[in-house]
């Protein structure tokens, strides 16, 4: 199990009892700054080994951490203050843990939408909170329109009695975005169901949920050009035709063969 442990943002007494319990029981603590985290550990008699894990080494250390987790170790990740992954290291590791099907959880957060965002594994460089949707359909559509072009992660609260209606509203507003439905946060049956809007997932219809959505992908400005103009743009900047076709296809999210068909005579 990987434990993402929230730490006090100021007063050391703001740490939770569960956070202390976890930090005392794990075989390794990954810390953004070991000198800073050592102060918290010394205050509460935490003696677990500690290693540095910060933005400069998180990618290079990720594989080794996943290997140790796969072997059954319990490892905690802490940042200097606050919640891992929220403008702090952790997102790279969480994504790798999800890809490898390993268990993980967040410990010590007091805010449901922040916890759900971390558990989703989505990119959290920016984050917006939408709360509950309005009851009337017209008000819902108008409200969701305000979030449509936001490039960051989106979070909403969803009640089980309106879940299917809410999903239809989200799908109408945002199309087929990746989503995560999180419930029972920090409890025994904590669950994070990942799916794509438009496909209703299997889920337990009990309790309240947080729905987390990936933000809108930023479209390449060159896509406003015709396909031929797009390829010519790259050729004019020194790329050969093969590389220009490859770049244009990547920008547009289409197959290289589709671009080549429209530019074979260039």
Choice between 205 and 219, residue whose per-residue pLDDT is larger: 205
Mean pLDDT (the chain, rounded): 92
* Structural domains of the chain, with CATH: 2-110 (3.40.1010.10), 127-213 (3.30.950.10), 221-263 (no CATH)
Structure tokens at 249: 């296809």
**Band of the pLDDT at 4, cuts 50, 70, 90?**
very high
Structure tokens at 193: 């169901």
Q: What pLDDT digit, counting tens, does each position of 219-231 carry?
A: 667 878 899 999 9
Residue 219: what pLDDT? 63
**Band of the pLDDT at 81, cuts 50, 70, 90?**
very high
Question: pTM to 2 decimals?
Answer: 0.79
Residue 99: what pLDDT? 94
For residue 201, is pLDDT > 90?
no
Interacting residues of 153 by C-beta distance below 8 A, sequence separation 6+: 117, 120, 122, 123, 124, 126, 127, 128, 212, 213, 214, 215
For residue 113, is pLDDT > 70?
yes
């Amino acid at each position: 199990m990987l434990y993402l442990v929230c730490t006090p943002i100021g007063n050391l007494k703001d740490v939770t009892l569960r956070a202390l319990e976890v930090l005392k029981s794990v075989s390794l603590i990954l810390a953004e700054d070991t000198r800073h985290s050592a102060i918290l550990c010394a205050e509460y008699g935490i003696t677990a080994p500690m290693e540095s894990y910060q933005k400069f080494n998180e990618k290079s250390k990720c594989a080794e951490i996943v290997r140790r987790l796969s072997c059954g170790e319990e490892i905690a990740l802490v940042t200097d203050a606050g919640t891992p992954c929220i403008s702090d290291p952790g997102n790279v590791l969480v994504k790798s843990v999800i890809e490898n099907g390993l268990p993980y959880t967040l410990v010590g957060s007091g805010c449901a939408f922040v916890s759900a965002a971390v558990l989703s594994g989505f990119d959290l460089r920016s984050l917006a909170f939408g709360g509950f949707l309005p009851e009337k359909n017209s008000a819902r559509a108008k409200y969701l329109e305000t979030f449509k072009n936001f490039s960051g992660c989106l979070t909403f609260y969803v009640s089980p009695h309106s879940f299917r209606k809410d999903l239809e509203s989200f799908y109408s507003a945002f199309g087929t975005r990746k989503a995560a439905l999180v419930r029972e946060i920090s409890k025994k049956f904590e669950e994070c169901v990942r799916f794509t809007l438009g496909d209703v997932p299997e889920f337990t219809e009990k309790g309240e949920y947080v729905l987390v959505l990936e933000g809108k992908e930023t479209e390449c400005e060159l896509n406003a050009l015709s396909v031929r103009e797009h390829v010519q743009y790259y050729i004019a900047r020194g790329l050969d035709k093969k590389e220009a076709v490859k770049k244009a296809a990547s920008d547009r999210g289409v197959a290289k063969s589709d671009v080549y068909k429209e530019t074979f005579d260039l």
